[in-house]
């Protein structure tokens, strides 16, 4: 066996060097590129999840402010000393203001397939119209309850999205580590292949007649 290896050292070095060179090149183009494409998809998913979390938090914050203002306006509007015409206009304005984040939340939840957009939107619009048309505690309370159900549903999605975001970040870290390993493997394979080809050339020169 050693005699065979010595006699065919050049051929073995050429073949092994060529094979390792091809493997190193193919590894870079196939494995690393595939991991890179997976990383781009993970990055897009991360960006989408981050945008959803920020959007839901922003909508909830906007509603919280409008809701606090609405409570104060409603209480003041019920005071005997309040000018009912002015109070009514302010109250109706708040109904419109608080409706914006609720509608946005309904839209966000509908896109996420968490509710039926048309059914929920129409039901809310009806309550909002009734509350603006008739300044009563019953209508105001009913509207607030419907709004809070929608907002709470949106806020409940935030921890789920954050968990998904955490998993995506873990996958991105694992992908990054895999890309580094793959580049090292491809580099080592190419270098070793080049070394074997160089070795074959040196063997050929050493056996050449003077």
- Give the pLDDT confidence of 192-208 residue by residue, as tens digits: 555 555 555 545 455 54
CA distance 186 to 190: 6
> Is residue 58 a part of any domain in this protein?
yes
Mean pLDDT of the chain: 77
C-alpha distances (whole Å) from 165 to each of 47, 162, 169 are 9, 5, 6
CA distance 175 to 173: 5
Q: Collapsing DSSP states into helix, strand and coil, what is residue 13?
A: helix
135: pLDDT strictly greater than 70: yes
Per-residue pLDDT tens over the stretch 35-74: 788 889 999 999 999 999 999 999 999 999 988 888 777 7
For residues 116-141, average pLDDT: 88
Other beta carbons less than 10 A from residue 195's beta carbon: 14
Confidence of residue 104 (pLDDT cuts 50, 70, 90): very high
Burial tier of 60 (Cβ tally within 10 Å: 0-12, 13-18, 19+): middle
> Is residue 4 a part of any domain in this protein?
no
Report the Cα 9 to chain-centroid distance in Å.
54
CA distance 58 to 101: 9
Confidence of residue 168 (pLDDT cuts 50, 70, 90): very high
- Are 121 and 105 spatial neighbours (Cβ–Cβ below 8 Å)? no
Confidence of residue 88 (pLDDT cuts 50, 70, 90): confident
Phi first, then psi, for residue 182 (nearest 5°) are -65, -40
Closest CA to 70 of 96, 39, 47, 91: 91
State the residue range of the domain holding 117.
10-207
183's tokens: 């580049």
54's tokens: 């920020």
Q: What was the pLDDT predicted at 24?
A: 56
| Residue 51, C-beta contacts closer than 8 angstroms, at least 6 positions apart | none
Q: What was the pLDDT predicted at 23?
A: 60
Total domains in the fold of the chain = 1
> Is residue 3 a part of any domain in this protein?
no
> Is residue 2 a part of any domain in this protein?
no
> Is residue 51 a part of any domain in this protein?
yes
Q: Which one-letter DSSP state was computed for residue 113? A: T
> Is residue 1 a part of any domain in this protein?
no
> Is residue 197 a part of any domain in this protein?
yes
Q: Which of 24-38, 142-156, 170-184 has the lowest mean pLDDT?
A: 24-38
Sign of the CA dihedral running 198, 199, 200, 204: positive
> Is residue 172 a part of any domain in this protein?
yes
Report pTM.
Answer: 0.71
Confidence of residue 150 (pLDDT cuts 50, 70, 90): very high
CA distance 61 to 51: 15
């Amino acid at each position: 066996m050693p005699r065979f290896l010595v006699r065919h050292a050049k051929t073995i070095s050429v073949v092994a060097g060529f094979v390792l060179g091809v493997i190193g090149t193919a590894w870079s183009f196939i494995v690393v590129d595939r991991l890179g494409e997976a990383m781009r998809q993970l990055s897009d998913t991360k960006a989408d999840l981050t945008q959803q979390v920020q959007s839901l938090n922003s909508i909830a914050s906007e509603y919280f402010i409008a809701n606090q203002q609405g409570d104060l306006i409603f209480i003041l509007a019920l005071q005997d000393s309040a000018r009912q015409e002015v109070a009514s206009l302010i109250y109706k304005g708040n109904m419109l203001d608080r409706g914006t984040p609720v509608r946005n939340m309904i839209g966000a939840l509908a896109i996420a397939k968490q509710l039926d957009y048309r059914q929920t939107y129409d039901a809310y619009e009806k309550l909002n119209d009734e509350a603006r048309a008739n300044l009563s505690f019953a209508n105001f309370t009913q509207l607030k309850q419907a709004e809070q159900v929608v907002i709470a549903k949106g806020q409940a999605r935030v921890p789920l999205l954050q968990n998904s975001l955490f998993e995506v970040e873990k996958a991105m870290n694992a992908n990054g580590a895999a890309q580094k390993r793959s580049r090292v493997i491809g580099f080592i394979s190419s270098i070793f292949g080049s070394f074997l080809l160089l070795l074959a050339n040196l063997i050929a020169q050493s056996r050449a007649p003077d």
